[in-house]
Structure 1
Amino acid sequence: MKADPFAQLSLLDLQQQDSTLAQLAHRKRTLPELATLELLAERRKELDGERVENETRVSDLTRDQRKADGEVENVKARRQRDQQRMDSGQVSSPKDLQSMQHEVTALDRRIRTLEDEELEVMEALEEAEAVLTRVRDELGVLDAQSAESESTRDRAVAELDGQAADTQTERELTAAKIPDSLLTLYDKVRAQHGGLGAAALRQRTCGGCRLELNGADLRELAALPSDEVLRCPECNRILVRTSESGT
């Protein structure tokens, strides 16, 4: 293939621009904030599970406390009624009075038992509410950290996108200087060689594979006209002659 030497030199500019675009894309994919946000999201998922679990526990204990309060009040009310009947003299039979006194004693024991159970529920509820508050506070801190990381990420992405847009504009201007046939070859070779399709030949060394060409290869390349598109005999990338080629 033949191409104007200046068009071939433009390939080096194009390659640099493509390499810059690839680097910018890599930086965008590997921003540290992305890893940070992923870790924060995982931790938030864990905390959200804890939040739901503790909200359920608080709800259950709140219901248990209301039930315990109601049971205590019911037994106290019954005990009060029995005591009032005895105090008012409504119970005249000694046998009935003795039976009622036994019942009041039993109710007193029942009240103490229920109040102990009520206290246990209250303590468990206070503990569960404290845990829930801690989890909610940690979620708030986590959300603030996520918002800050997202803001930092967005600024970095905007800056990288801006640089990529500028570089892409420069690339389009450079590509316009290169014949379609050479541009097609460059794109094909670049796709086959990890994004590096053209390299300068400097001091007898290919800038693509970094290997020094032997004397026979150099003499063969030097014998070709300046508009002949060269290929590296080692890596097959497009070789662009420069003033430092050594040919």
Structure 2
Amino acid sequence: MKADPAVQRRLLDLAEVDAELARVTHRRRTLPEIAEIAEVEQLVRTKQDALVAVETTLGDLDRDVKRQETEIDQVRARTDRDRKLMQSGSVGAKQLTDLEHELATLQRRQGVLEDDLLELMERREAVESDASFARVELDKARQTLEDASRRRDAALADLEATETRRTADRTIMAKGFPDDLLKLYDRQRAQRGVGATVFQSRSCGACRIELDRSALSKVKEAPADEVVQCEECGAILVRIAQPAGA
């Protein structure tokens, strides 16, 4: 294949654009914010689970407190009823003795219930403190996730802008190459990642392998308008002026 040396040299400009587009694609897949977001999303789920667990415990304690308060109210109501009955003077000696015994039992029961209620209230206070802490921690995790998402979106927007600009540049540049040369370049780039590279100091700029004497002679002896490819990786070797003796 033949191509004007100046046209071949412009392949290096095209290769640089393609390399930048490849870097954009790679960076889009490997943004540190992506891994950070995945990690923080897991943290948010963990914090949510912790909050749900502590709020469940808090709800259970609230029900226990309410049940305990209801039972205390019932004991107090029974106590008030017995006292009023004793004070009415309408009960006999036997019933009066029974009421006095029941009142003593109710007072002891009320004392036990109130002690249990106090313990429940203390436990609830501690759990409420845990719940408040869990809410703060969840809010922090959500804020961290929001921040990471914002930074990811900004980075992706920058990459999108770069990709759009350089894709437009490539479209314009590609029109300046013969179809057969461009097809060869694109095919090689699709297969090996690099379509064209500079040949300098006896080495291929793509695979970095120094040519042996035989291959070097073929490259140097090829006409300037001959399209030469690396025997190792297939990249188009764009020959530029060599220092004397190179």
Deviation string 1:140-171 (CA, Å, 9 cap, x unpaired) is: 11222222222222222222222222221221
CA-CA distance at 1:94 after TM superposition: 1.7
**Which secondary structure does the structure 2 equivalent of 1:199 belong to?**
strand
CA-CA distance at 1:77 after TM superposition: 0.9
- Alignment partner of 1:235 out of 230, 233, 236: 233
**Which secondary structure does the structure 1 equivalent of 2:197 belong to?**
strand
Indicate the residue corresponding to 1:46 in structure 2: 46
Q: CA RMSD in A?
A: 1.8
**Any runs of at least 4 consecutive aligned residues in structure 1 with deviations exceeding 3 A, and if so which?**
none
Once residues 20 and 45 of structure 2 are traced to their aligned partners in structure 1, the CA distance between those partners, rounded to angstroms, is: 37
Query: Are 2:199 and 1:201 aligned?
Result: yes
Once residues 48 and 107 of structure 1 are traced to their aligned partners in structure 2, the CA distance between those partners, rounded to angstroms, is: 44
**Which secondary structure does the structure 2 equivalent of 1:24 belong to?**
helix
Q: Contact 1:201/1:207 (CA < 8 Å) preserved in 2?
A: yes
**Which secondary structure does the structure 2 equivalent of 1:36 belong to?**
helix
Q: Contact 1:201/1:244 (CA < 8 Å) preserved in 2?
A: no
CA-CA distance at 1:45 after TM superposition: 0.5
Indicate the residue corresponding to 2:222 in structure 1: 224
Once residues 212 and 39 of structure 1 are traced to their aligned partners in structure 2, the CA distance between those partners, rounded to angstroms, is: 45
Indicate the residue corresponding to 1:66 in structure 2: 66
CA-CA distance at 1:44 after TM superposition: 0.3
CA-CA distance at 1:121 after TM superposition: 2.1
Range with greater deviation from structure 2 (38-47 or 20-29): 20-29
Indicate the residue corresponding to 1:215 in structure 2: 213
Once residues 153 and 7 of structure 1 are traced to their aligned partners in structure 2, the CA distance between those partners, rounded to angstroms, is: 39
CA-CA distance at 1:198 after TM superposition: 1.3
Query: Are 2:14 and 1:14 aligned?
Result: yes
Give the TM-score normalised by structure 2.
0.92
Q: Which runs of 5+ in 2 are unaligned?
A: none
Deviation string 1:54-80 (CA, Å, 9 cap, x unpaired) is: 222222221221111111001111011
**Which secondary structure does the structure 1 equivalent of 2:206 belong to?**
coil
**Which secondary structure does the structure 2 equivalent of 1:51 belong to?**
helix
* Counterpart amino acid of residue 103 in structure 2: V
Percent of matched pairs sharing the same residue: 40
**Which secondary structure does the structure 2 equivalent of 1:244 belong to?**
coil
Once residues 202 and 165 of structure 1 are traced to their aligned partners in structure 2, the CA distance between those partners, rounded to angstroms, is: 32
**Which secondary structure does the structure 2 equivalent of 1:196 belong to?**
coil
**Which secondary structure does the structure 2 equivalent of 1:211 belong to?**
coil
Give the TM-score normalised by structure 1.
0.92
Deviation string 1:84-135 (CA, Å, 9 cap, x unpaired) is: 22133222x2221111111111111111121122222222222222211111
| Count of residue pairs the alignment pairs up | 245
Q: Which runs of 5+ in 1 are unaligned?
A: none
Once residues 157 and 212 of structure 1 are traced to their aligned partners in structure 2, the CA distance between those partners, rounded to angstroms, is: 39
Superposition pairs of residues 152-191 of structure 1, within 5 angstroms: 152-191=151-190
Q: Contact 1:175/1:183 (CA < 8 Å) preserved in 2?
A: yes
**Which secondary structure does the structure 1 equivalent of 2:79 belong to?**
helix
